[in-house]
Every structure is written in structure tokens, then in C-alpha cells.
Amino acid sequence: MAPTENDIAIVGFAQLPPERRTNLTESDLVLRSTREVIAQVGIDKSEIGFTVSGSCDYLSGQGFSFVQNTDAYGMVPAINESHVEMDGAFAMYEAYVRLLQGDIDIAMAVGVGKNSNSDPSTLFTVEFDPYYLTPLGTDTWTLAALQARALIDSGKATERDFAEVVARNRANAKSNPFAQVKGDYSVDELLAADYVRNPLRRHDLPPTTDQAAAVILARGKRAYDLCERPAWITGIDHRIEAHLPTVRKDITTSVSTRLAAEAAGVGKGPIDVAEIHAPFSFQELILRESLGLDASTEVNPSGGALAAHSVMTVGLIRVGEAANQIIKNGKNRTLAHTTSGPCLQQNLVCVMEGDQ
Amino acid sequence: MADTVQEFVFNLTFPFTRTLGSTLSTFSSALAQGQIIGVRTGGRVIAPPLEYDPDTAADSGTDWVRVGPKGTVSTWTWVPEPTNLHPLDHAFGFAFITLDGADTPMLHLVDTGSESAMAAGMRVEAKLKAPADRVGRIDDIIAFVPAADPSPSEGAGEPFVAPEENDITEMDAYCDLQYVDNASPTTIMWAKALMEGRIIGQKCPQCDRTIVGPRGMCSVCAIELDESHIVEVPGRGVVSNFTIVTPTPYPGQTETEPFARCSILLDGADAVIAQQEILDVPVSEIRVGIHVEVVWAPENERSAADIDNRSRGSGGDIIVGWRTTGEPDEPAARYLDRMM
Ligand SMILES: [Zn+2]
């Protein structure tokens, strides 16, 4: 396609190796990931017109951590900067919208999460409905397990299907140098493990990961100065459902994902590769169906979120991986997906295409 | 170095009082009286009630409906090892429970004693706290237990008449989270030097700025700085800014009188160290430009335990504070335009 000045592409992506426990701070991680992506596209940091990050104070346990993290941008003279208390994929969406204003050509989006400081079995309790969920100690694993049980009872999937998702993602992750959990596992071996929250076993849950990632976006022809084959964003949409899963009509499907996929134009052509953010194994099954993907789409060649799951970074990595399939791997049309909130409450879908 | 703490535990605990608004106040006040209610909106009964119809965002109104105390489990899970945040200290189930008279389920605990007793379709009933212990919060229901008699709840689906004024309009909540952070290489460098009675910074090879305390990067040039960039700076400098904190009482606040916290620009540094205490100047006389020097704790009393990644430039228990040198105040032009 010949880009217009309103077309925006991912032109660079860098991620740090995922670690179960880093001794670096979030600021250190931001510095290393942003330096790498800036070097990759060969610009000076002063050429970046807008910088936006996604991170969460509650994860690292540090108030205003995102302010300290801006040290890593080198903000003298002052820069145009923003932050979302969400995954870096949503920061990328803000960068995309900012570029649409047409007055700048280059933007950078960052995701960072030092997840190892906190306990995932308790941390997210404080982010849920404070009246009906938090006083009960409602945790992420429990909400996912309730959704998984509903999926099984609906007849759409079995525990064996969940284990097959895990085995495939871990096998895919073997060829991903940025995977934390990888290897060959038999489904029977996985099914022999105890439940953490029936019907979910440890391997159905996301790993705990410290990581950062960054992407650079460029507008119009400027993209070609930074990247030989830019990953043009041809559709992007973010939909949100009710926070309480109990008031959603059917938690065995994802209405918000379906709506976001339609708005992003997923069905307008074949999707070569989809990078899906399914924190819990079975959610990949729900998401594949709601995204409208068929067997011709390769799903999560990176190993997906089961291979590394740094909350606040994992979604942006899906964007970067899907973009790299176009930039480096010759694919024509790819999809990145990110979720947030209990039982797939929020979903972002981004479709990217390369020049043919 | 054994005296340098490599890992620190941080407890984020605080009480919180939430106002409930009219819908949740009605629910809470009824629950404290032992009655669970829902609200009829958009043709269905939502229980527990919400202020808005999640489908249309319209005001849910005040068409209150009695629901429960019995209900039916639609989906469930099992918690084999409860955390400190769960209300029960033994293994229990969580479930979506559609109460009799309601169309949407409520998430709550199911206390069956055994995972094998859990099943979709099982009939359960609410087990409430004793009336004197109820505060109108969702955990006034201790848990649901298997219903002795599976027949429909009496009175479920009938209208509930709310009182003119609700008894309960607020809810106490409590945050209790634990973090375990580990000292970054930069934090360890800083703490080690302090233990030896040295204050260090890092000098950026690109812009020549000296950053104290070290932060592992130049925050002007956005480049990494490491051990090779360490420079020692003297324990003398100038107060470049200050604030006077008038303590308000909150849980954990130990101060009662106004106190000053100062930024100090050490001689030869380009970044201030913040949150410092001046020992020998009354709060009313603190001003920018005062020359100060460091007061070290005696060597045998120094501890790096409080020096973590969150308190960049903090002297912990190693630096007691700063005292004035008696030199004439420094003119402002000499310490303006410095990095935080
Ligand atoms: Zn510099």
C-alpha cells in the first residue's frame, strides 16, 4: 500500500529478556528497552515527538513509580510525555491516536512491569469492585477458574483442551529467545498436576515475570526512514465490558473482543499470524473464537502470554511480536491482542499489514 | 557487604472508608438487618444491586426486590490454600450463586468442607454473621452452605420497601499487601559507600553532570551509568529548596509538630538530594542558601536497612542529618537550574 500521511506504522520493537526476578528497578528496565529500540531505528531521542508508558504502581509497590521512570527518557529539554496505568499496548494506542493529530511524525510507547515484588495471588484483589469483590478476597485466579468451569460446563472445551494450549505454547516458546517458560510437555503429564483453582492447574496460570518492552511508531512516509518494511496499523480498537463478570450475559465468550475485532477489520482478509494475550490457557480458546480466527492463522508462535507474563508489558510484546512478523518475517497481515481486567473485561485488537 | 540489605519487605497497609451512595446504602442497610436485596432494572433483577443497568448505563432506580437466602450455583472453583485476604482460613469454594428471585448471580464463598461436594446446580443458602456483628458489608454473609431444604426461598422475588433513611451509608475497607523488593546494583553501591562514610555520585561522560545519589543513569542524556562512573562528593552543600510539613494525623504518622524537609545541593554535584533534615535550625528559620555539612551516625550505629530503591538519595540510619556550617548564605544564582 502507498501510505498516506494519516497511516501509522510500528517501525521498531525491543524487549528485554524476561526474568522471574530482576535486580534492576523499573527505571533501569525502561532505560535499557528504550535505548535499544531507539538505536534499532537509528534516530536521536530528540526526534521522538511523543513518549507514553504503561505501568502500575501497585505492582512494584512504589508510589509515583512512573514519574521516576521518566528519568530514563532524558527529559532535558522537556519532552511531550504521557502515562497510562495499563499495559504498554494501551500506551501504544495512545501514541497512535497522538500521531493522528498530524503535527509529529515519531512516537515511542513503553511497557514496564517489575511483577516479582508482589504476590499475584493477592495483589489484584485491590483492583476489583471494592464493595462486592474485594472484601471477599476475590483473586484473579478464582475469577479465571470460575470462567474456565463455565466454559467446560458449556461443552465448548475440556481440561485436556486447556493442557493442549499450554503444551503448544511452551513448545512454540522454544524458538523464542525471549521466553521464560518453554519446553516439551505431554498433555497427560500436565493433567497429572494438582489444581490451584479447580479446574485450573499451575500451568494454566501465567508465569510471574519482570520485563520491559518498547515500540516506535512513525507516521506516513517517515516510516520508511526508520524501517524497510513498516507494519502499518490498518485497524485498532479497544472495547470494555462490565467490570463484574456476574452481570455479563455469557462469560464463555468475549463480546468486547468480537466487537473490537470487527471494528479493527479482522475479517477483511486472512490473518497470517495472531499474537493473543491470554493470561490463562483456556482464555486463548475463547479469544480465538471471538476474534473470528480460523485454522489458517498461526497463533502465538512466540509462546504467547504463557511463555512470559510481565503485567503491563505482555500486551505490548504481543504488538511487537506481531509487528516483527511483518518487519522481519515477511508476513503480510498480522493481529495483536491485549486484555485487561477480570475474565477478559477489556480487549484491544490491532491489525497490521505490510507493503505487498 | 553483610551490612548492606539486599532485600527489603514493604507492607502497604491502610484503612479506608468508602461512602456507599443510595443504592449500595440500601443494600448494606438491608443486609445488616438480615435481608439480601436486588434491584429490578431493564426487565431483570440484579443482585447484589448496581446503581446502573450494565446494559444501558441507565439509573437502576429503586424497584427493590427480596432475594435469597437460598440460591443455585452456576459455576464454581475451589481454594485449597486460602490467602490472608480470604475471609475463611480453611479450604473453601467460590461460586456464582443465582439467588432465588434474582436473574444475575452473586459471587460468594461456598463452605462445603470438601471440593467433591461442589457442583453446578447445587442449592445453597446464606449463612450470616450474628446480628451484632453485621456491618452491612458483603462479608456479613460468612459463606453459602448446602441448603438443608432445597425448596424455593420464602418471599423471594417480592418487593422490598426501603426505609426513608438508610442506617448505613459508609463502608470500612482495609488494604493489606506485602512487597519484597531487592536492592538494585545502584542502591547497593550507594548504601555501601554510606556505610564507609562516603557520599558518592555518578559523573556522566556525555554531559559532565554529577548525579548524587547515583541513579544508574544520566537522566539528561538517557544513558546507563555504572561503577566506572562513580565519583566521591564532599558531605557539604547548600539548601536549595525546602518544604515545611504540618503533620495531619493518619495511621502510621508519628510526627506531631511541623518539620522541614530540604533539598541539598552538595558541592560539585548537579543533582540535589531530597527529603533531608537540618538538625540545628528551627523550622521557622529554614531558608534556601544555608551552608550545611553532613552528620554521620557513629560507625557502630549505622544501618543500611532503610535504604531501598524507593528512597533515592536517602541516608537511612547512616546520615543523622545536616548541620549548619555558619558560612554566609549562598546566592541563589549558584544553585538554581539543578536536577531533581
Ligand atoms: Zn548526561
**Residue B298: partners with Cβ closer than 8 Å, 6 or more residues away:** none
Q: Closest approach of chain A CAs to the CA of B291, in angstroms?
A: 28
Q: Closest approach of chain B CAs to the CA of A160, in angstroms?
A: 17
The answer to the question of residue B6 being in a domain is no
The confidence score (pLDDT) of residue B2 equals 43
**CB contact residues (below 8 A), chain B span 203-262, against chain A:** 215-224
Contact A74 B173 (CB under 8 A): no
pLDDT tens-place string over residues A184-201: 999 999 999 999 999 999
Confidence of residue B4 (pLDDT cuts 50, 70, 90): low
Same domain, B55 and B200: no
Contact B96, B106 (CB under 8 A): yes
d(CA B170, CA B18): 5
Contact B4, B317 (CB under 8 A): no
Alpha helix stretches (DSSP H) within A197-254: 222-226
Q: Which residues of A touch B180 (CB under 8 A)?
A: 117
Contact A247 B46 (CB under 8 A): yes
Same domain, B159 and B195: no
What are the b/e assignments for B73-105, b being 16+ CB within 10 Å? bbbbbbbeebeebbbeeeebbbbbbbbbbbbbb
Contact A246 B94 (CB under 8 A): no
The confidence score (pLDDT) of residue B335 equals 79
How many structural domains does chain B have? 2
Same domain, B197 and B329: yes
Contact A25 B184 (CB under 8 A): yes
The confidence score (pLDDT) of residue B1 equals 41
Q: Which residues of A touch B84 (CB under 8 A)?
A: 122
Q: What is the mean pLDDT of residues A217-228?
A: 97
Residue B42 φ/ψ region, left for φ over 0, alpha for ψ in the -120 to 50 degree band, beta for the rest: left
The answer to the question of residue A72 being in a domain is yes
d(CA A40, CA A327): 12
DSSP secondary structure letter of residue A260:
H
Q: What's the CA-to-centroid distance between B114 and ligand 1, angstroms?
A: 62
The confidence score (pLDDT) of residue B5 equals 57
Confidence of residue A182 (pLDDT cuts 50, 70, 90): very high
The confidence score (pLDDT) of residue A105 equals 98
pLDDT tens-place string over residues A238-258: 999 999 999 999 999 999 999
The confidence score (pLDDT) of residue B309 equals 85
Q: What is the mean pLDDT of residues B166-183?
A: 92
Nearest CB to B48; choose among A72, A122, A132: A132
Q: How far does Cα A135 stand from its chain's mean position?
A: 29
How many structural domains does chain A have? 1
Confidence of residue B3 (pLDDT cuts 50, 70, 90): very low
Same domain, B112 and B221: no
Same domain, B161 and B200: no
Whether pLDDT at A335 is above 70: yes
To the nearest whole percent, how much of chain B has pLDDT over 90? Answer: 83
pLDDT tens-place string over residues B209-243: 999 988 999 999 999 999 999 999 999 999 999 99
What is the residue range of B38's domain?
21-168
The answer to the question of residue B11 being in a domain is no
Q: At what angle do helices A255-263 and A283-291 cross, to 10 degrees?
A: 40
d(CA B66, CA A334): 51
Q: What's the CA-to-centroid distance between B208 and ligand 1, angstroms?
A: 6
Whether pLDDT at A2 is above 80: no
Residue A86 sits in a domain whose CATH number is 3.40.47.10
Tell me if residue B232 falls in helix, strand or coil. Answer: strand
What is the residue range of A22's domain?
8-118+208-226
In this structure, what are the phi and psi dihedrals at residue A124, rounded to the nearest 5 degrees?
-75, -10
Contact A119 B183 (CB under 8 A): no
Task: Round the average pLDDT of chain A to a whole number and report it.
Answer: 96
Whether pLDDT at B39 is above 50: yes
The answer to the question of residue A278 being in a domain is no
Interface test with B, best of A122, A246, A249, A251 (most B CBs within 10 A): A246
Whether pLDDT at B117 is above 80: yes
Residue in this structure with the C-alpha cell 503448544, named with its chain if needed:
A168
The confidence score (pLDDT) of residue B63 equals 97
Tell me if residue A287 falls in helix, strand or coil. Answer: helix
The answer to the question of residue A352 being in a domain is no
Whether pLDDT at B7 is above 90: no
pLDDT tens-place string over residues A55-110: 999 998 888 889 999 999 999 889 999 999 999 999 999 999 999 999 999 999 99
Nearest CB to B83; choose among A32, A122, A130: A122
Nearest CB to B77; choose among A68, A121, A145: A145
Q: What is the mean pLDDT of residues B190-207?
A: 95
Whether pLDDT at A125 is above 50: yes
Q: What is the mean pLDDT of residues B119-124?
A: 98
Contact B79 A197 (CB under 8 A): yes
pLDDT tens-place string over residues B273-286: 999 999 999 999 99
Contact B77 A146 (CB under 8 A): yes
**CB contact residues (below 8 A), chain A span 143-202, against chain B:** 145-150, 153, 194-200
Same domain, B141 and B265: no
> pTM score > 0.90 for this model?
yes
- Name beta bridge partners: B179: B10
**CB contact residues (below 8 A), chain B span 101-140, against chain A:** 104-109, 115, 118, 120, 137-139
pLDDT tens-place string over residues A11-36: 999 999 999 999 999 999 999 999 99
By C-alpha distance, the chain A residue nearest B74 is A150
